Structure 1
């Protein structure tokens, strides 16, 4: 059965400088500003500000509302400043991967960034594969083949006739906007499908063969890199008089895994939210024939580690169903949906949750029925009356998929996996946790729903308090210590 993992024993270290830290987390559904303070030698982290987020349809495609995100996060930073007479020592930003901001010569955005779900990426993927072998790209990068990867987005820009421009992924863009050196943090850079596994640098071969400008790509730095002091209007606030800007693990998944306070080598992870990232931490990329055939990825990790996992569709499926039901006037709380789903019998036929059709926005009940019909299974009414059986179907299908993926993870890594840590918002879904325990036969340990924030803070402390090189395993140990301290 699922349980909350006992907090590991760790020495009660207090940082030399006890000013507050700020973590900014950019999510595809909400963006957050969190504050960590030391009160009587005890760390206390609180959510200061949250704004809703989501892609918006413009005339030329699906975009992210960049200025809305920036203004919301800066409002959160101002709120944080009001709460801390001791001042703020550092700020770090993590977020979802692959999307980027195209910049002019002054570093100003040329347009709102496209969303990774925009269909232009699928056309770009097909066009690029006609001239560049996906197998060769996989050999070079070890990254899963998905049309949302930055490579295909940059190629879509090229197909649209946009001239080469400097670009930054969104977390690094925010940091640069606030005064940091413009960089590509390593964990985020790996998800572009443009980084070599052996050198940890941009692949000149892929840039060349895709006809993209490597000169427009920023310098790659490891998580835990100091990027300069906060500048601009925010720096006029007394709390930000001497605030460092830090590149944490800018990819929120890598940050969430850094926030898992687990020792030993017998554990896997599921970072559960809009997506489910299912895998295990390794010391080097795993890129053999099975990993390639199963389309696993090798995401850069903290302190020279590697996150070997597979993207599995996640709570996006249920959220899209909820949006469809809301259009019909039915807006139940998630707890109500889960309680109703738990009373349903186990479904006779499960979904392929990774069907590309189930990755698209809109009409999710209809998309699910299309798949059921294609499998010769009974369909469900596309009305709120089917909310309970449809929720049950989604959760049983996710748990079964997790089990399939974890079996491959164990085989490919040689690990004897006995525990699976579930972090992110999905860790609060006790029905899914129970189904996952049943499907995998593993002990399910519930981590933090805000594990990305904890990992963000842990990397900040390891950077500010530790002495190890950011690319060393000693740095990973320091991050683990602070994650344990903050858990």
Structure 2
């Protein structure tokens, strides 16, 4: 597939460069290679893998270590196939879900799946902390029980032990960015799915 890009990107100073986009959805993931030749991108699928949830003690989780393994396998495949170094890599996943890191930067457990039942009925309960009108005025997004704010509320309500030790929250794509780069940050558009971002 060829993608013709707009004028702004054509000012990119590198004549030839390779980029990888990691695209992980609810049931599968893939690594896409974008080859920039100075005027257009040529896209090809480099690696594909399943994304299956796991159930532990009656709760649904993402198999985040398997996903990380597959990302690394895709990168190894790139290295074996192409001589050119990568100019960049980025990860895109679904919204709302997150990983908690301790003070040392270690993941504190497999992230919960947005379809887990732990947030059932918590939207209305959340209005006891901040009214519906005020929540919407601040965040401007749709009320859904899968939103990060209600996942965290479920942890508060159940006195989940991870909250005592948690130091950093990273949305799912940013967890992978952290493992790839060592840098902790949250990308703005994904943060908006948390219903905790001031819009």
TM-score (norm 2): 0.87
Question: How much has 1:41 moved relative to structure 2?
Answer: 5.8
Contact 2:10 2:38 in 1 (8 A): no
Question: For residue 74 of structure 2, what is the aligned residue in structure 1?
Answer: 76
Contact 1:124 1:159 in 2 (8 A): no
Superposition pairs of residues 188-203 of structure 1, within 5 angstroms: 188-197=190-199
Question: How much has 1:94 moved relative to structure 2?
Answer: 1.1
Question: How much has 1:55 moved relative to structure 2?
Answer: 2.1
Provide the rounded CA distance (Å) in 2 between the counterparts of 1:147 and 1:9. Answer: 38
RMSD: 2.2
Question: How much has 1:127 moved relative to structure 2?
Answer: 2.7
Cα distance 1:19–1:68, how it changes in 2: closer, same or farther (>3 A)?
A: same
Question: For residue 33 of structure 1, what is the aligned residue in structure 2?
Answer: 31
Residue aligned with 2:21, SS:
strand
Question: For residue 161 of structure 1, what is the aligned residue in structure 2?
Answer: 159
Question: For residue 112 of structure 2, what is the aligned residue in structure 1?
Answer: 114
Provide the rounded CA distance (Å) in 2 between the counterparts of 1:140 and 1:103. Answer: 26
Question: For residue 187 of structure 1, what is the aligned residue in structure 2?
Answer: 189
Question: For residue 53 of structure 2, what is the aligned residue in structure 1?
Answer: 55
Report which of the two structures shows the higher radius of gyration computed on alpha carbons. Answer: 1
Contact 1:23 1:92 in 2 (8 A): yes
Q: Deviations over 1:83-102 (max 9, x none)?
A: 32121111111111000001
Provide the rounded CA distance (Å) in 1 between the counterparts of 2:34 and 2:52. Answer: 26
Contact 2:54 2:62 in 1 (8 A): yes
Question: How much has 1:131 moved relative to structure 2?
Answer: 3.5
Provide the rounded CA distance (Å) in 2 between the counterparts of 1:181 and 1:9. Answer: 29
Residue aligned with 2:130, SS:
coil
Provide the rounded CA distance (Å) in 1 between the counterparts of 2:58 and 2:126. Answer: 21
Which 5+ residue runs of structure 2 have no aligned equivalent?
none
Question: How much has 1:128 moved relative to structure 2?
Answer: 2.0
Provide the rounded CA distance (Å) in 1 between the counterparts of 2:62 and 2:135. Answer: 28
Residue aligned with 1:24, SS:
strand
Question: For residue 355 of structure 1, what is the aligned residue in structure 2?
Answer: none
Question: For residue 144 of structure 1, what is the aligned residue in structure 2?
Answer: 142
Point out the structure with the larger strand share: 2
Which 5+ residue runs of structure 1 have no aligned equivalent?
1-6, 198-487
Question: How much has 1:142 moved relative to structure 2?
Answer: 0.5
Q: 1:176 is matched with which residue: 153, 175, 178? A: 178
Q: 1:105 is matched with which residue: 89, 100, 103? A: 103
TM-score (norm 1): 0.37
